[in-house]
Structure 1
Amino acid sequence: MSPLLLLALLGVTFPLPGVQALLCQFGTSYDVWNVSQLPLHWTPKEISCDSGLGCQDTMVLIESGPQVGFVLSKGCTEAKDQEPRVTEHRMGPGLSVLSYTYVCRHKDFCNNLVTTAPLWTPQPPADPGSLRCPVCLSMEGCPEGTTEEICPKGTTHCYNGLLRLRGGGIFSNLRVQGCLPQPGCNLLNGTQEIGPVRMTENCNTKGVQELLCQFGTLKEVWNVSQLPLHWTPKEISCDSGLGCQDTLVLIESGPQVSLVLSKGCTEAKDQEPRVTEHRMGPGLSVLSYTYVCRHKDFCNNLVTTAPLWTPQPPAGACPRVGGEGGAVRRGSDPGSLRCPVCLSTEGCPEGTTEEMCPKGTTHCYNGLLRLRGGGIFSNLRVQGCMPQPGCNLLNGTQEIGPVRMTENCNTKDFLTCHRGNSLQKGDNLAQVPIGWTVSNTVMCEAGQVCQETLLLIDVGRKSTLVWSKGCSAVGAQNSQKTSIHSAPPGVLVASYAHFCSSDLCNGASSSSVLLNSLPPQGAPEPGDQQCLTCVQPLGTCSSDSPVKTCPRGTTHCYDGYISLSGGGVTTTMGIQGCVAQPSSSLLNHTRQIGIFSVREKGEEEPPAPHSERGGAGGLESLTWGVGLALALALWWGALCPSC
């Protein structure tokens, strides 16, 4: 395992004026992969941090034979800024442990690591030795009789231990077996913390007495007709003294029900199964189930909503109330009030369908629930019918199990925006508009606005268009701007940036919003200059690019790149073409284009990561981080419903 340190991936410093809360890439992932599957890629989510917090990236790679354990944590942190650092905790022969850590505050989404590629290259084959050891990496445990493999030359002992990973959204155990060059239980060479992740080691694997619990989270909105729901949890070994917990929250509004589930370890005292009716209509209903136990492994064994939920009786039927720990549902006759009815983690659009409210309701409710804790980090928009006015859907409840819940009915503070991004390469994109369909939406944090940003680069017939839609803390006021950074003849670089403050206002559906503002371009007359011509959206151009006769009025050749990040996009675009001036800057030293932070070749280079051991090499190309194969399992990992 030899780390290649990616220089351009880590961005440069240019503060954004007026931004009070930093936006960071966010998520966790932990799993075991075959070495042949590397490099891994992922698409993180986004989070708005509290004021003063920074962004952090933490990645750990543990290799044993043909397998590699992968641990990733991205999000907000109180830690001080720290330059990118690659640390070789153990570098074979045999077992290897490599980590990457970074803390930054200089710009939104500065923790922009989206691939293992810059930190990992395949290890050259090692000469075989004479020792044979069981070789295994597993989050669930290595079975007895694990296949033994021939260890590399230089190893003398078999390692068998358990790594406990806690913090930074990671709560997992990794069983490790493999080959080491010395005896003992010191796989990490004394390391106890890597970024926010605490790591403890135990080689007395037969003597581990900790409780085993069911583990995972689930948060989604369903139609009532799809209930009961079922799920398949994972398993986890808890720290000594901790118990198992089950927390389930069901919120019903009309034909929809929101399910929030948290399962795992807890410090809380034992508590008998408890069903609480926080609100039971008419209209909106909120029901929760909580349980804490220590009497046996996997005692938090709730795997379905069935014991807590039965279909609502037809209007006018007698109430049906379950017994202790059982299902609770009520019916009601229709009334005369009509209200918008919606449950959504992405936001309820304007013009949500109004439905007839049940008898006994007198007011329409419109609020936002913020759910934090127990592996849950989510916002839920709620609209429906209530029997009284006010912003008290939960009847004063602020915590359900480990999940903290806060309520805000000033929903104008929370915009819903179109969300998506794309990079497209083609011919004549500067003359012919292209369209797109964006079906995803996102609910922004308080104070954020909607944005859409387009960047077009054209070198004469060959073009690249990058666009992004979503939330932003940039551009707090409504604004719309088209800019021509580099004008013909020669390379064209133009952009469109729109910030707006109403729901779904970032609704442009084609590149015509940019092209309509560009001056008309006729067929250029050829000149005397010839240049390499290239626009490469995923890296730098080469010396093998085709040569083109430049248009009249151009006198120089450009050969460089533009790196951009933000709005879910991280990439470098190589550019070669004809220009009218000898200046090396196509962007005229612009550092911000809409949501995109940009840097051009020759401008400030970021500091290289520090490697505590081993050498470092540089790579110029960035990685496009959209739609790639590895999905992040956020904060405790998602459960797979099998309903």
Structure 2
Amino acid sequence: MSPAPLLTVLVVTALLPGARALQCQKGSIETVRDALELPLNWTAGQETCVEGQGCQDTLMIIENGHQVNVVIIKGCTAAEDQEAQVTRHRAGPGLSVISYHHVCRQADFCNAVSTTKALGDLSTTTAPGTLRCPVCFSRGQPCPEDSREHICPAGYTHCYDGVLKLRGGGIFSTLRVQGCLPRPGCNLFNGTQTIGVMDVSESCGPRSDAQPLECQKGTLEIVKGISELPLRWTTGHQTCEAGEGCQDTLMIVENGPQVYLALSKGCTAAQDQEASVMEHRLGPGLSVVSYSLVCRHGNFCNGLASTVPLWAPPPDTAPGTLRCPVCFSRGQPCPEDSREHICPAGYTHCYDGTLSLRGGGIFSTLRVQGCLPRPGCNLFNGTQTIGVMDVSESCGPRSDALTCFQGVTLQSGSGFNQDPEDWSANGKQTCNVGEVCQETLLLIDVGPSAILAGSKGCGVARGQESQGVSIHSRPPGILVASYSRFCSSNLCNNANSSSVLLSSLQRAPPVPGDVQCPACVQIFGSCSSRSTLVTCPKSVTHCYRGNFQMFGGGLSSPLTIQGCMAPNSASLLNRIQNIGIFSVTESFENKEAKKAKNFQLNSAALCACLAPVWRLGLALGVMSFSLPANLISL
């Protein structure tokens, strides 16, 4: 074979302050190579893990005649340590699948595998037979009808045609495969559903044109210094409804030394639209530019991964004499002592307005101050829709704005479903145009431990004024219950204890059954393998293990949950994604399907001016973004 080519798996990840934690090699890549290029070598970036996490290596090779599909994933993981393990899911010759997985904590960068030699030898040369089959690897597209044919090994009788789905660790791939097998079948993974940090699945046979698309999925809002652009990101994924397409919506507001970015990716019923860049207001000073796309030509066609297509560094301009405060603030007035910026020469007006963004998972009211060349309130230049977002603008004083109680609580403990907890808030908040007062309380109780999360403040009601208690999941399984109220008079969000929720809960003592489950609810971390075992109530048939991502109302928190599950149930939320002011997304282990539900995005923390959320040091959103993201070069 030829000398081993070198792959570079490059990642730039900020180091995290705090307790001593492992550093791990980090990166992900999927590539198709000629089999003669093996063995492959690579180098990786690095990241600092959350305390308690280990380092992992996941490597998979699919050999298919003269080609190989190589998947490499390296990074931090909460999984338990595992000795390096090589698994031959299907041995060659012909189509073969082999994988390597390793989890370690003994030292920094212990996930140090750097060559395909870790998998050992692949299939050996065999005598040619008489059967010819098309050989193909194709991501997101059908194999071409004129795929190159390959002479199969002697004794082979079947041409394979299937679709492999690889999900996890930064890999979101739908891989069409054609090749040689010794007998009919659709089981390349030999029953395996998880390889390291990846979920894998397989389907074979003809595919209807109506097969749903898969799209990149998530939302992000973030404020960055202009020197930090261009920004890059990675996203999650979702499977669309039949007929839906994939969409990208990105808006950037440039404001002196800062930029505000709003991004939405996902499925849409809108008609196809070529990638479009629109300059709503040109700088210098305040400028607004947007990008939108709707596509159906292939899975994950909404592949926008950076600000590069629509943003370029602003030209140098001569400074003028006018000074204006410069601010982005979500849900709050700009501070009176906002930092002033010298406007460009010829500029005569300080802008002070509110932008409302609604749609595609973005529900934001953004207060903006900056420089304009003339008076006006028209940053969007008359535009009312940007991609999947409705946008509007208002300027001037807000004499009719509501005042609401403001505060957040996030408690862990036990007994929250028995005795009322104090829920008063001393802080107050002046709302933006279109906002009302809200209060939301969420209780998750698994038995020996529980979480109580509450928020008071301003918010956008999704309907008319409302108040009520909802029981999302009830005993004999895990209890998930919430109280929410939206009201439109000053300081009307005035509930002072959790009794507004507890008064609606029934507390019949459970009759113990035969099933035991680990019970845990954990904020910012994973449940330990030594979680408390509880005897579940009678009629419980299985255990629940899942994650919530909760965002909104001043809180942004990941939760890990284990406990008893009510009969005939798999989900605690039953696809509900809004609980009062909170946006909540659930992923869980499905005992039958062994798949997790789609996540939304998880953004980086915004600047300090976006109080109160960032005061807690919490990441925004509910789908995993990296800024900068994994940068791959071959």
* Alignment TM-score, normalising by the size of structure 2: 0.49
Q: Which has the higher contact order (CA 8 A, sep 6+)?
A: 1
TM-score, length of structure 1 as denominator length: 0.48
